[in-house]
């Protein structure tokens, strides 16, 4: 990550603009123990009080890191029931990185966010139908499978 991904100009611009970057050695105490870090690289997305909402373990290239971070930021807002900013980050992910590994989960979470903000079931069914059409082999398509009946 330090050699390939973080020096990428799109990655560094995104992180500097959108996030607060904090980097520590894998054996840092107390953070390594507090966040149960067992391998590197481990990336954890935290809210402003230090609570974890998303993590990845293992190398991510520039084309996968930005969508993963967008998903992480969306999860922070989703968990805090801030659905408008959650949806904005998910839409940015899906518009800019539709072929990324994070895209299927973003479609799933967008459907759930729309449901929770409107209390209408239609977005859940739409999420399943889009997943089935575009990512039929994704685990998120399987997780959305019950929504086909809504």
> Where along the sequence are the contacts to other proteins (CB under 8 A)?
1-2, 6-7, 9, 12-13, 15-16, 18-26, 28, 31-32, 35, 37, 40-50, 53, 69, 72-73, 76
Nearest-angstrom CA–CA distance, 66 and 144: 24
CB of 84 to other proteins, least distance (A): 14
Of residues 3 and 133, the one with the C-beta less far from other proteins: 3
Of residues 71 and 107, the one with the C-beta less far from other proteins: 71
Query: For 89-98, b where at least 16 C-beta lie within 10 A, e where not — what string?
Result: bbebbbeebe
Burial class of residue 70 (count of CB atoms within 10 Å of its CB; 0-12, 13-18, 19+): buried
Of residues 28 and 116, the one with the C-beta less far from other proteins: 28
CA angle 81, 120, 97 (to 5 degrees): 60
CB of 59 to other proteins, least distance (A): 11
C-alpha 81, offset from chain centre: 15
Say which residue the tokens 């995104």 belong to: 14
CB of 114 to other proteins, least distance (A): 21
Of residues 73 and 124, the one with the C-beta less far from other proteins: 73
CB of 93 to other proteins, least distance (A): 14
CB of 63 to other proteins, least distance (A): 16
Residues 6+ apart with CB under 8 A from 113: 74, 78, 83, 86, 87, 90
Of residues 51 and 148, the one with the C-beta less far from other proteins: 51
Please tell me whether residue 45 adopts helix, strand or coil conformation. strand
């Amino acid at each position: 990550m330090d050699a390939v991904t973080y020096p990428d100009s799109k990655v560094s611009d995104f992180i500097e603009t959108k996030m607060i970057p904090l980097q520590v050695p894998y054996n840092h105490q107390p953070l390594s123990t507090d966040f149960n870090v067992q391998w590197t690289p481990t990336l954890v997305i935290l809210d402003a009080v230090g609570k974890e909402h998303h993590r990845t373990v293992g190398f991510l290239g520039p084309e996968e890191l930005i969508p993963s971070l967008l998903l992480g930021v969306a999860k922070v807002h989703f968990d805090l029931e801030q659905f408008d900013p959650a949806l904005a980050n998910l839409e940015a992910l899906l518009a800019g990185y539709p072929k990324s590994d994070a895209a299927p989960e973003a479609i799933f979470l967008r459907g759930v966010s729309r449901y929770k903000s409107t209390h209408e079931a239609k977005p859940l069914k739409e999420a399943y139908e889009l997943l089935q059409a575009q990512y039929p082999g994704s685990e998120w398509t399987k997780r959305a499978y019950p929504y086909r009946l809504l």
